[in-house]
């Protein structure tokens, strides 16, 4: 199981546009092969910073999603809204 955490920094005037994009695409992402979970979080100290938190069965599933035409279109539209470059981590659980 792979957990993907992505930190997104938006221009304040673009927050509602991002929330609309996420709302329109979340179910499609959740239905990609291997996607077990997709959640969106908003920073309490900086409301223009969001985190996506997703879980994938395998790293190959995550990469298939990231290489899909769907992702490329969504990411291109989302990147236009940033105030700074996104940060991303792929992690795995090591202790229960």
pLDDT digit string (tens) for the chain, length 96 residues: 999 999 999 999 999 999 999 999 999 999 999 999 999 999 999 999 999 999 999 999 999 999 999 999 999 999 999 999 999 999 998 987
pLDDT of residue 59: 96
The domain 2-91: what is its CATH number? 3.30.70.100
Angle at Cα 74 formed by Cα 79 and Cα 49, nearest 5°? 45
In the structure encoding, which two tokens stand for residue 5, read together?
A: 């955490």
pLDDT of residue 96: 74
Tell me the pTM: 0.93
Look-up of token digits 């992702």: 71
pLDDT of residue 31: 97
């Amino acid at each position: 199981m792979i957990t993907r955490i992505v930190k997104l920094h938006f221009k304040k005037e673009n927050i509602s546009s991002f929330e609309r994009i996420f709302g329109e695409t979340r179910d499609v992402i959740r239905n990609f092969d291997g996607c077990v979970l997709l959640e969106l979080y908003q920073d309490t100290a900086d409301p223009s910073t969001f985190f996506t938190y997703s879980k994938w069965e395998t790293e190959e599933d995550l990469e298939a999603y990231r290489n899909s035409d769907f992702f490329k279109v969504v990411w291109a539209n989302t990147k236009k809204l940033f105030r700074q470059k996104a940060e991303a981590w792929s992690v795995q659980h090591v202790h229960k």
